[in-house]
Chain A
Amino acid sequence: MTRSPNKDVLFGLYDDDAKILSAVGQARAAHLDIYDVFSPFPVHGMEDAMGFTESRIHQAGFVYGLIGTLTAFLGMTWVFTSDWPIIFGGKPYWAVPAFIPVTFELTVLFASIGMVVTFYTICGMGPGILNPTLHDRITDDKFCLAFDVTDASDEEKAKYRAFLQASGAEEIDQKHI
Chain B
Amino acid sequence: MSGHISPIREPLITGAKTYHQITEDICGPTERTPSAAWMIAFILAVTGLAVYVFCVTWTIWVGIGSWNLNRTINWGWDITNFVWWVGIGHAGTLISAILLLFRQKWRTGVNRAAEAMTIFAVICAGQFPLIHMGRLWLGFFIFPYPNTRGPLWVNFNSPLLWDVFAISTYFTVSLLFWYTGLVPDFATVRDRASGFRRKMYNFLAFGWTGSAKHWQRWESLSLILAGLATPLVLSVHTIVSFDFATSVIPGWHTTIFPPYFVAGAIFSGFAMVQTLMLITRKVLHLEDYITLEHIDSMNKVILATGNIVGVAYLTELFISWYSGYIYEQFAFYNRLMGPYFWSYIGMMACNVISPQIFWSKKMRQNITITFAMSIFINIGMWFERFVIISTTLARDYLPSSWSYYSATWVEVGLFIGTLGLFSTCFMIFTRIAPVVAIAEIKSILKNAGDQYVGMSNAKKHAHAHEPVATKDSTDTH
A138, B176: Cα distance in complex, Å: 25
Q: State the Cβ distance, B214 to closest chain A Cβ, in Å.
A: 5
Given that A61-B224, A138-B191 are known contacts, is A108 also in contact with B169, CB under 8 Å in the complex?
Answer: yes
Which of these, A3, A39, A76, contacts B156 with CB under 8 Å? A76
Closest to B461 in A: A18
Residues 1-48 of A at the B interface (beta carbon under 8 Å) = 1, 3, 17-19, 21-23, 26, 29-33, 36-47
Is A70 among interface residues, defined by CB-CB distance under 8 A?
no
Of B156, B183, B467, which one neighbours A26 at CB under 8 angstroms?
A: B467
Interface centre among B202, B206, B229, B242 (most CB of A within 10 A): B206
The verdict on B188 contacting chain A, using a C-beta distance below 8 Å, is yes
Chain A interface: which size bin?
A: 35 or more
- The reply on A170 being an interface residue by CB < 8 A is no
Q: How far is the CB of A32 from chain B (nearest CB, A)?
A: 6
Which B285-326 residues have a C-beta within 8 angstroms of A? none
For residue B371, CB closer than 8 A to chain A, the reply is no
B476 & A116 in contact (Cβ 8 Å cutoff): no
Asked if B207 and A130 make an inter-chain contact with CB atoms under 8 angstroms apart, the answer reads yes
- In the complex, A123→B212 CA distance in Å? 11
Report chain B residues within 8 Å CB of A61: 224, 228
In the docked arrangement, what's the CA distance between A114 and B175, Å?
Answer: 14
Complex interface residues of chain A between 64 and 86 (CB less than 8 A to chain B) = 65, 75-76, 79-80, 83-84
The distance from the CB of A57 to the nearest CB of chain B, in whole angstroms, is: 5
B157, closest chain A residue (CB): A98
Among B216, B438, B477, which residue has its beta carbon within 8 angstroms of that of A52?
B216
Taking CB atoms, residues of chain B closer than 8 Å to A137 are 191
- Contact status B162-A43, CB under 8 Å: no
Contact across chains for B192 and A131 when beta carbons are under 8 A apart:
no
Encoded as 1 (CB less than 8 Å from any B CB) or 0, chain A from 136 to 150 comes to: 111111001000000
- Tell me the chain B residues, 200-227 only, with Cβ under 8 Å from chain A: 202-204, 206-221, 224-225
How distant is A84 from chain B, measured CB to nearest CB, in Å?
5
Shortest CB distance B168–A (Å): 8
Expressed in whole angstroms, the Cα–Cα distance for A126 and B202 within the complex equals: 10
Pick the interface stretch among B15-23, B59-67, B125-133, B264-272: B15-23
Find out whether the CB atom of B151 lies under 8 angstroms from the CB atom of A112: no
For B192, what are the chain A residues with a Cβ–Cβ distance below 8 Å? 136, 140
Q: Taking CB as reference atom, which chain B residue is nearest A75?
A: B144
Which B-chain residue is minimally distant from A29 (CB atoms)?
B467
Q: List 11 A-B contacts (CB under 8 A).
A: A42-B1, A46-B212, A55-B217, A58-B220, A61-B224, A65-B228, A99-B156, A101-B162, A104-B231, A116-B180, A119-B221
Residues of A within 8 A of B (CB): 1, 3, 17-19, 21-23, 26, 29-33, 36-47, 50, 52, 54-55, 57-58, 61, 65, 75-76, 79-80, 83-84, 88-89, 91, 95, 98-99, 101-102, 104-106, 108-109, 111-113, 115-116, 119-120, 122-133, 136-141, 144, 156, 159-160, 162-163, 166-168
